[in-house]
Amino acid sequence: MRLRRPRTDKRSFSRRLADEEAREFVERELEETREVYRTSSGEFQLRALCRDAFASDGTGDLRWLRSRGIDPEAFYMTELRPNWEALDRREREARIDRFIELSSMLGGAELNGEPPEHLRDLVATVHLKVLLLSWAYDRTYGFIDRIFNGPLQYRRHRKRSRL
| pLDDT tens sequence across 89-129 | 999 999 999 999 998 888 766 666 667 777 889 989 999 99
- Helix (DSSP H) and strand (DSSP E) numbers for the chain: 8, 0
What's the pLDDT at 42? 65
Residue 159 lies in a domain: no
SS3 content of the chain, % helix, strand, coil (to 5): 65, 0, 35
Q: Give pTM, 2 decimals.
A: 0.71
Residue 156 lies in a domain: no
Residue 158 lies in a domain: no
Residue 15 lies in a domain: no
Between these two residues, 51 and 142, which has the higher pLDDT value?
51
Our count of domains for the chain comes to 1
3-state class of 10 per DSSP?
A: coil
User: Residue type at 1?
Assistant: M
Name the band, by pLDDT with cuts 50, 70 and 90, for residue 17: low
Residue 133 lies in a domain: yes
Quote the CA–CA distance of 77 and 49 in Å, as a whole number.
13
The region of weakest confidence among 26-30, 55-59, 102-106, 117-121 is 26-30
Cross-strand pairs, 38: 44
